[in-house]
Amino acid sequence: MAIKVDIANVSKHYGDADEDDFVQALDGVSIALKDGEFVSFLGPSGCGKSTLLHIVAGFERASRGEVRVNGKPIAGPGADRGVVFQDYALFPWLTVMENVTFGLKLKALPPPECRGIARELIGLVGLTGFEDRFPHQLSGGMRQRCALARSVANDPEVLLMDEPLAAIDALTRNALQEEILKVCGARDGRPGKSVIYVTHSIEEAVFLSDRIAVMTPRPGRILEIIAVPFERPRSDGTRLAPEFTQLAGKIWNTLKSYVRPD
């Protein structure tokens, strides 16, 4: 399987080494993401997970090392990468349909094609019937569904997700995890998306991922890369499997020595 994203020896620091405000956020992070693979970055708060995602997105530059997408160094944000944030980032003056079709219209696609793509994705994320609602008329979970549909509508090769479910209640979060896998997975003969997912939830990482990169506290390094053995599609039955609990427990045992109470 081809390499989609190659993160090679990436380090990131802020400030000057001889100044009090110097912060080493990342130190020598390397991992290759295969085409169609779902990889989660898991670790304690402040370990540089989001910083790494922002570097892959092109929002920040690495202090050392390089990120390549399809073998080409990234020079900034690009249409080949879509980002889903924790805070939805929807346009409040646009309806669900208008939010989802926004990027498609920028590509100058015919309006019927824009609406067709949007309707398919709105249906996949469970928002059929809410096409004409504005973000303030939606629950938090529904807003995140809309944000996911909007990002996938633009058909990026890589989807970058920065703790998108952190502010959502547990029941809704479980349902949205299944929606994420449905939208990002292969369908109708189209390949699945390559996904980099940032989370601090062990169970979420195990449920969603093909591999999990467990990170140390700052400066963030990859402590271990863990393969997740569960077949797709995944469901509530996956969460109830003894192997699921055993893997989550193994990851917790790996991380707990690094966790300190505030």
123 or 189, higher pLDDT: 123
Contacts of 158 (CB under 8 A, 6+ apart): 4, 5, 33, 56, 69, 80, 81, 82, 193, 194, 195, 196
Task: Identify the pLDDT of residue 170.
Answer: 85
Task: Identify the pLDDT of residue 239.
Answer: 94
Does the pLDDT of residue 142 top 90, yes or no? yes
The DSSP-derived string for 174-230 is HHHHHHHHHHHS-BTTBPPPEEEEEES-HHHHHHH-SEEEEEPSSSB-EEEEEE---
The mean pLDDT value for 160-165 works out to 93
d(CA 90, CA 55): 22
pLDDT more than 90, % of the chain: 74
pLDDT more than 70, % of the chain: 98
Residue pair 145/127 in contact (Cβ under 8 Å)? The answer is yes
Task: Identify the pLDDT of residue 261.
Answer: 56
The mean pLDDT value for 247-257 works out to 91
Does the pLDDT of residue 23 top 80, yes or no? yes
Within 13 A of 64's CA, how many CA atoms are on the CB side? Answer: 10
Task: Identify the pLDDT of residue 72.
Answer: 95
Does the pLDDT of residue 115 top 80, yes or no? yes
The mean pLDDT value for 122-135 works out to 95
Task: Identify the pLDDT of residue 169.
Answer: 87
**Tens of pLDDT, residues 146-159:** 999 999 999 999 99
Q: Which domains are delineated in the chain?
A: 1-80+158-168+187-262 (3.40.50.300), 84-155 (no CATH)
Does the pLDDT of residue 262 top 60, yes or no? no
SS3 1: coil
Task: Identify the pLDDT of residue 196.
Answer: 97
The DSSP-derived string for 4-64 is EEEEEEEEEEES-TTSTT-EEEEEEEEEEEETT-EEEEE-STTSSHHHHHHHHHTSS--SE
Does the pLDDT of residue 185 top 70, yes or no? yes
The mean pLDDT value for 179-190 works out to 82
SS3 120: helix
The mean pLDDT value for 238-257 works out to 93
Task: Identify the pLDDT of residue 149.
Answer: 94
Q: How confident is the model at residue 8 (pLDDT cuts 50, 70, 90)?
A: very high
Neighbour-count burial for 37-60, b at 16+ CB within 10 Å, e otherwise: bbbbbbbbeebbbbbbbbbbbbeb
**Mean pLDDT for the chain overall:** 92
Task: Identify the pLDDT of residue 89.
Answer: 83
**Which range among 160-169, 200-209, 213-222 shows the weakest confidence by mean pLDDT?**
160-169
The mean pLDDT value for 110-138 works out to 94
Q: How confident is the model at residue 14 (pLDDT cuts 50, 70, 90)?
A: very high
Residue (of 204, 106, 87) closest to 153 by Cα position: 106
Q: How confident is the model at residue 260 (pLDDT cuts 50, 70, 90)?
A: low
The DSSP-derived string for 92-110 is TTS-HHHHHHHHHHHTT--
Does the pLDDT of residue 192 top 90, yes or no? no
